[in-house]
């Protein structure tokens, strides 16, 4: 990485240097630590780790590692990616998924055949400037794809970002700004988890995401996503264990994920609960899966209009 690119991502003055670099000769996988140190009083040091990864399926929306999809700035173009002050990712073209894995030391961990290859950035000290971090990720992804022999023209373009909206108070009868969307009664726990604030990212035409923060003792959050991004739809369809066919051939669904056949193509929808919310629900209800299922049903019914999706009936779980 060039110093000016790292400087742009870290958005501050000071000395930029490469720290630990791990790679294997002749392989595209790598891990690189970039640091920015400052001698000026009041300036904090910054550190970002760039790495290749082979992730499970729809990792940006369904794992505890990648939190708060509603707070991200998403790439507007053909490249699948997103950034936030704490880190970001670029999903490599599908032709790379069987070619780029993880790296530990100088040992390459090859892709398992069902994963999604990506280049990821994690801020281990301080925060990054999203625009600069996006450029850093895009350049790294371009180089990895070229080394793996799976580069595409889309990766040559500089990323344009769609920033998230600001945090706002939640309307309990119109959660995440979706008319008619409310949490079922069993998902609202008085004094423990009650709808409070939300943040939405909707500027990218192929991604809509919302983070709902609930007030109360649990520290509960739940995120909702709908995306027509082909990489994410393909990732969801790689492993459909636990999914079931929906009536009338409208798609497939699991407890809190679905792929629907919509007017302009398939759309992946998901709800993801933080551990604190799931634990609080477990303390109150014998069948947490039923509460999660009902919440997801409500979301899907209200979000269908985002991408002209069919009305679907999700069977009782």
Per-residue model confidence as pLDDT tens digits over 204-232:
999 999 999 999 999 999 999 999 999 99
pLDDT for position 160:
97
Statement: residue 313 has pLDDT above 90: no
Both 240 and 193 in one domain: the answer is yes
Overall domain count for the chain = 2
Question: Rounded distance, CA 225 to CA 151, Å?
Answer: 28
CB 79 within 8 A of CB 127: no
Both 264 and 234 in one domain: the answer is yes
Tell me the pLDDT tens digit for each residue of 65-95. 999 999 999 999 999 999 999 999 999 999 9
Both 150 and 187 in one domain: the answer is no
Tell me the pLDDT tens digit for each residue of 269-294. 999 999 999 999 999 999 999 999 99
Of 134, 162, 190, the one marking the end of a domain is: 162
Greater pLDDT, 177 or 25:
177
CB 232 within 8 A of CB 61: yes
At residue 107 the predicted structure's pLDDT band, cuts being 50, 70 and 90, is confident
Determine, yes or no, domain membership for 101.
Answer: yes
Average pLDDT for 112-126 = 92
- Please state whether beta strands 194-201 and 257-262 pair in parallel, antiparallel, or not at all (unpaired): unpaired
Determine, yes or no, domain membership for 314.
Answer: no
Determine, yes or no, domain membership for 45.
Answer: yes
Average pLDDT for 265-269 = 98
At residue 34 the predicted structure's pLDDT band, cuts being 50, 70 and 90, is confident
Question: Where is average pLDDT lowest: 24-33, 87-96, 105-114?
Answer: 105-114
Residue owning tokens 């699991």: 254
Determine, yes or no, domain membership for 313.
Answer: no
Average pLDDT for 22-51 = 80
Copy the structure tokens of residue 47.
């550190």
pLDDT for position 49:
93
pLDDT for position 112:
82
Both 153 and 13 in one domain: the answer is yes
Determine, yes or no, domain membership for 25.
Answer: yes
Both 130 and 273 in one domain: the answer is no
Per-chain mean pLDDT for the chain: 91
Both 12 and 133 in one domain: the answer is yes
Copy the structure tokens of residue 185.
């009664």
Of 118, 137, 162, the one marking the end of a domain is: 162
Domain that holds residue 303: 168-307
């Amino acid at each position: 990485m060039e110093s000016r690119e790292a400087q742009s991502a870290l958005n501050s003055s000071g000395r930029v240097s490469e720290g630990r670099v791990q790679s294997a000769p002749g392989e595209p996988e790598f891990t690189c630590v970039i640091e920015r140190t400052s001698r000026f009083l009041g300036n904090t040091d910054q550190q970002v780790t760039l790495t290749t990864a082979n992730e499970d399926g729809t990792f940006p929306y369904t794992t505890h590692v990648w939190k708060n999809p509603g707070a991200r700035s998403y790439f507007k173009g053909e490249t699948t990616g997103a950034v936030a002050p704490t880190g970001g990712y670029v999903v490599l073209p599908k032709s790379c998924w069987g070619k780029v894995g993880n790296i530990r030391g100088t040992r390459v961990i090859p892709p398992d055949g069902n994963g999604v290859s990506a280049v990821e950035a994690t801020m281990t000290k301080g925060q990054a400037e999203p625009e600069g971090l996006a450029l850093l990720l895009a350049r790294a992804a371009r180089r990895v794809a070229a080394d793996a022999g799976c580069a595409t023209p889309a990766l040559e373009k500089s990323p344009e970002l769609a920033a998230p909206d600001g945090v706002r108070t939640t309307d309990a009868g119109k959660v995440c700004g979706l008319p008619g969307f409310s949490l079922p009664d069993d998902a609202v726990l008085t004094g423990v988890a009650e709808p409070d604030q939300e943040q939405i990212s909707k500027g990218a035409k192929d991604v809509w995401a919302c983070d709902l923060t609930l007030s109360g003792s649990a520290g509960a959050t739940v995120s909702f996503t709908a995306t027509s991004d082909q990489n994410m739809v393909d990732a969801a369809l790689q492993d459909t264990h636990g999914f079931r066919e929906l009536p009338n051939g409208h798609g497939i669904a699991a407890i809190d994920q679905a792929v629907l056949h919509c007017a302009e193509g398939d759309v992946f929808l998901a709800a993801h609960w933080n551990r604190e919310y799931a634990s609080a629900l477990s303390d109150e209800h014998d069948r947490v899966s039923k509460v999660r299922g009902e919440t997801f049903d409500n979301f899907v019914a209200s979000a269908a209009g985002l991408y002209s999706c069919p009305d679907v009936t999700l069977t009782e779980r």
